[in-house]
Chain A
């Protein structure tokens, strides 16, 4: 079946960001003073374990950013027609998870629907919990559910462990060969933690992730691991799809923030005078308007624009995407002030230093002084701010979607999940799994991001240098 690639706005920006990130890594590898703190980050077990978790999230997010539309099976070859639904590579990998829908709510790993219906039992119509269409459909009877789940968990455990063992063996042989030692010697070094990188922690973390992944795959094959939502969609699938939204918000917003914060912050600190006055005035005004109000107004304007120009957006995905992008931009425009203020202060300090004075004594131009003397010396602040802001932005998205001014309601996001769960919390028995799943995903991502940020901040903090 042929497909048509779809590049949404955020997809393009994500891959642009990826390229920029790769470029940054390349630059950092070449500059000794930039490499040193990152090498210190790589020494920290906690930071590296967090980085591994983040990498899994990012991988899912990237796979979910490769979009396409399937060709309709009955469309003519010379004028192909494509489905309105935009899918991603991640959807393809997930297989049936996307399409296995139930009627409405069902609890995690359940066989029956949450709500009673009239069902026919041996020709008699009774009011009972109906069996699910997919969840546990292969079982003949409810008593077999528990042993089946246990069996699947055990198989998943075994598969995960086996996979990580094989991967570890390959790694050991490869590293040992590269280091020119016997594999047993490498293993002894690994066990004693003498490899110069937190190998034990990383191996443990990777095993944990592999086992978790294998168990989830085993269970998701026959059940709804996190239950289903109001329209019967698998919550695990929604949660995984929300990863991309969270990452987009966390990273693209930074992309908008950085030029504003760096440009204006450094300019204000370096040029002083009226430039400083104007920039300070702008960010003081911006700061005095409640951020949520600005965001709500901007999102509503974009909404109106989308609705009055339907011809510009050929799919629902494109509409939701443009709203997501608008949200990133407006959040970026409202959140650059903190970093700008920090950079202004640092620049005020730097511009009085003798090496800037020396450059002025040579008649070096302002742009060159900014580029060679000021920016490289505030760059560590920028890095720390990016990493620290990321988790804040992911959480902000959840709050904004909850309030109703966040991403498009049709878009998968943790905020929308929480918003959807809000009304159901009062039901008896309580519908907790949507909220629980959103919480678990967000908690993992934000915790990993924060632990990683901690490692980065410590590595860049000159006061910590002596204690390392």
Chain B
């Protein structure tokens, strides 16, 4: 295949930090090359260097970037403008930030068409419609007149892709194109990208941290670490036998279906790039490192279809596959700790001059849950299905409109919130916004104890020190401020804060979705250890099904404010009965080749909870829906003692 993009020895510096350090790779026409790595490894900076769109203070110090044989780094800025969006286009992670919110998407696409293809008027309109067709936007003629806020996340990302395609690029750079999207939407968008690449013979540079996305989409893979490329190879070879210890550890850190054992973690964190390196950059975190690794930077070694920069490549033991850990035998059902009956959270929609209530947004509509002491219930669903609202309503952070919450047999009322707050606490998604940057860690930990009068004032300091130890933070952490810690360490602080009042239930709202794979593994292990040690129950709110199987005993699947299926974790994930659960499970990108076969995809987006569809909420997206589904909402039907489903099809069997 003809080489489309040829990057040689690219060095990019921002201030004193060499964020990209000697990276070389090629992308052929019609090929997808995936750059894989944790955050802070220089993946995005590589892409921005190719586009010459570096942030202030960034400069390219060395190297060449050739697109179709032309050195882009030597082009004047004027010529570069026609390359950007013309021969080389980029899709960004956050479609809401990349689209101008006050201009109709049709005009934004038209802008690119006018600039790169000199199209205007009717011709531009027709081309734009064809582009939307190509990226699978339903009803394209109408969508052209929509503003970005009128579109869902998946549609916005498709618009971004259509815009990128407007200049008929030879190379498409996709920077984490699906990270901000739900799994079902992610599957749709990746399918669009695959089809486009096939049809147009584009080269694609896919930047991602998700091994699952790589497994389904890439032809070749490059692993980046601390600004350098560590390993490169074809997808088959890479997934069959990753050579570099870092790549292997990334695999080992990933929770996989049917896996109950401890996750492997990578100790430490990505080094700061403004320091000078001697030897292999991964050596400080590498379990196989020898003296030579610390003294001498390794060169490339080739193994068949792979090449790797590691002194010990080839002599490492064969990648050990984790034995599918046996789940602890399901003990006798424990006593129910939290019982929720008919929980409803309705937000009034007010319109007009007098702010009259014209309707309700039913964020949570009749949800009933039971969490047993010392067990984990996972609440799963797409974003916007109301799962976070359930978590907040349980703690009365959002006032429930109806329903009964009972904790250890005692009904929780607004007047007796103190008892609730001692027994149930929350860990939030983003560890950067959940810790007050102006408070010392010890003050953060003490806050809850002081507010709820837990323990003697004199002993609280000792309790805080014990908590820090429990979550694996250094002893001197208490005196420091949150900014001194990495994302994973901050999440540990947040967990310690929740544990400070010795709760029996911790509500974890996507606690790992903002973290890298290796750090996610550390946090998941910690949560599991704490459960074993302290007997805490978790309500684990997530959209990541792989994590669910690792941690949860029971699963409840939520769709549009209601629970549609609930049962033991293994049963629900291995043998899902509800079509929605089936689609969710199928949409999870898997790294094992067997699952990579074509799977049914969920069409469309989740409808708005303001105006839910009649009958079964899921019927507009359900491949099996019939007249009955359009008319009435199905009742819960037990498939066995612990597993129930709300679906007419299951009921009809």
A residues whose Cβ falls under 8 Å from a Cβ of B: 32-33, 353-355, 357-365, 368, 372-373, 376-377, 466-467
- Are B395 and A361 in contact, with the CB atoms below 8 A? yes
Scan residues 384-410 of chain B and give those whose CB is less than 8 A from a CB of chain A.
392, 395, 397
- Are A362 and B428 in contact, with the CB atoms below 8 A? no
Complex Cα distance, B501 from A86, in Å, reads 63
- Are A377 and B433 in contact, with the CB atoms below 8 A? no
Given the interface pairs A362-B421, A362-B452, A368-B451, the reply to whether A355 lies near B436 with Cβ below 8 Å is yes
Residue B267 CB within 8 A of the other chain: no
- Are B434 and A362 in contact, with the CB atoms below 8 A? no
Neighbouring A residues of B14 by C-beta, 8 Å: 466
Given the interface pairs A33-B481, A354-B434, A373-B436, the reply to whether A364 lies near B428 with Cβ below 8 Å is no
Neighbouring A residues of B426 by C-beta, 8 Å: 357-358, 361
Q: Choose among B56, B418, B430, B501 the residue that contacts A354 (Cβ–Cβ < 8 A).
A: B430
- Are B428 and A358 in contact, with the CB atoms below 8 A? yes
CB distance from B488 to the nearest CB of A (A): 16
Neighbouring B residues of A377 by C-beta, 8 Å: 436-438
CB distance from A378 to the nearest CB of B (A): 10
21 pairs of residues in contact across A and B, judged by CB atoms under 8 Å: A33-B437, A33-B481, A354-B429, A354-B430, A354-B434, A355-B433, A355-B434, A357-B397, A358-B426, A358-B428, A358-B497, A362-B452, A364-B451, A368-B451, A372-B439, A372-B443, A373-B439, A376-B436, A377-B438, A467-B15, A467-B56
Neighbouring A residues of B46 by C-beta, 8 Å: none
- Are B436 and A363 in contact, with the CB atoms below 8 A? no
Residue B380 CB within 8 A of the other chain: no
**B507 nearest CB neighbor, chain A only:** A361
CB distance from B374 to the nearest CB of A (A): 21
**B427 nearest CB neighbor, chain A only:** A358
Residue B425 CB within 8 A of the other chain: yes
- Are B395 and A353 in contact, with the CB atoms below 8 A? no
Given the interface pairs A353-B433, A372-B436, A467-B56, the reply to whether A360 lies near B418 with Cβ below 8 Å is no
Complex Cα distance, B447 from A72, in Å, reads 63
> Which 5 A-B residue pairs are closest in the complex by CB-CB distance?
A354-B434, A376-B438, A354-B428, A362-B448, A364-B451
Q: Choose among B417, B430, B481 the residue that contacts A363 (Cβ–Cβ < 8 A).
A: B417
**B438 nearest CB neighbor, chain A only:** A376
Neighbouring A residues of B56 by C-beta, 8 Å: 467
**A377 nearest CB neighbor, chain B only:** B438
Given the interface pairs A32-B481, A363-B452, the reply to whether A355 lies near B418 with Cβ below 8 Å is no
Neighbouring A residues of B435 by C-beta, 8 Å: 355
CB distance from A39 to the nearest CB of B (A): 15
CB distance from B310 to the nearest CB of A (A): 33
Scan residues 457-509 of chain B and give those whose CB is less than 8 A from a CB of chain A.
481, 483, 494, 497, 501
Residue B328 CB within 8 A of the other chain: no
CB distance from B42 to the nearest CB of A (A): 16
Known: A33-B437, A355-B436, A357-B434. 5 other contacts (CB 8 A): A354-B428, A354-B433, A357-B397, A359-B451, A376-B438
CB distance from B59 to the nearest CB of A (A): 14
**A359 nearest CB neighbor, chain B only:** B447
Complex Cα distance, B15 from A249, in Å, reads 43
Interface size counted on chain B using CB atoms at 8 A: 32
Given the interface pairs A33-B438, A355-B433, A355-B435, the reply to whether A361 lies near B421 with Cβ below 8 Å is yes
B residues whose Cβ falls under 8 Å from a Cβ of A: 14-15, 56-57, 392, 395, 397, 417-418, 421, 425-426, 428-430, 433-439, 443, 447-448, 451-452, 481, 483, 494, 497, 501
**A352 nearest CB neighbor, chain B only:** B433
- Are B451 and A357 in contact, with the CB atoms below 8 A? no
- Are A467 and B57 in contact, with the CB atoms below 8 A? yes
CB distance from A435 to the nearest CB of B (A): 44
Neighbouring A residues of B437 by C-beta, 8 Å: 33, 377
- Are A363 and B428 in contact, with the CB atoms below 8 A? no
Neighbouring A residues of B395 by C-beta, 8 Å: 361
CB distance from A27 to the nearest CB of B (A): 12
CB distance from A33 to the nearest CB of B (A): 6
Complex Cα distance, B447 from A377, in Å, reads 17
Query: Chain A CB within 10 Å — which of B434, B438, B443, B481 has the most?
Result: B438
Neighbouring B residues of A363 by C-beta, 8 Å: 417-418, 421, 451-452
Neighbouring A residues of B494 by C-beta, 8 Å: 358
**A372 nearest CB neighbor, chain B only:** B439
Neighbouring A residues of B429 by C-beta, 8 Å: 354
CB distance from A430 to the nearest CB of B (A): 50
**B443 nearest CB neighbor, chain A only:** A372
Q: Choose among B418, B428, B438, B448 the residue that contacts A357 (Cβ–Cβ < 8 A).
A: B428
Neighbouring A residues of B434 by C-beta, 8 Å: 353-355, 357-358
Neighbouring B residues of A368 by C-beta, 8 Å: 451
**B500 nearest CB neighbor, chain A only:** A362
**B418 nearest CB neighbor, chain A only:** A363
- Are A362 and B451 in contact, with the CB atoms below 8 A? yes
Neighbouring B residues of A359 by C-beta, 8 Å: 447, 451
Query: Chain B CB within 10 Å — which of A354, A362, A466 has the most?
Result: A362
Complex Cα distance, B447 from A368, in Å, reads 10
Neighbouring B residues of A365 by C-beta, 8 Å: 451
CB distance from B429 to the nearest CB of A (A): 8
CB distance from B104 to the nearest CB of A (A): 28
Complex Cα distance, B453 from A365, in Å, reads 13
Complex Cα distance, B14 from A365, in Å, reads 44
**B398 nearest CB neighbor, chain A only:** A357
CB distance from A140 to the nearest CB of B (A): 67
Neighbouring A residues of B57 by C-beta, 8 Å: 466-467
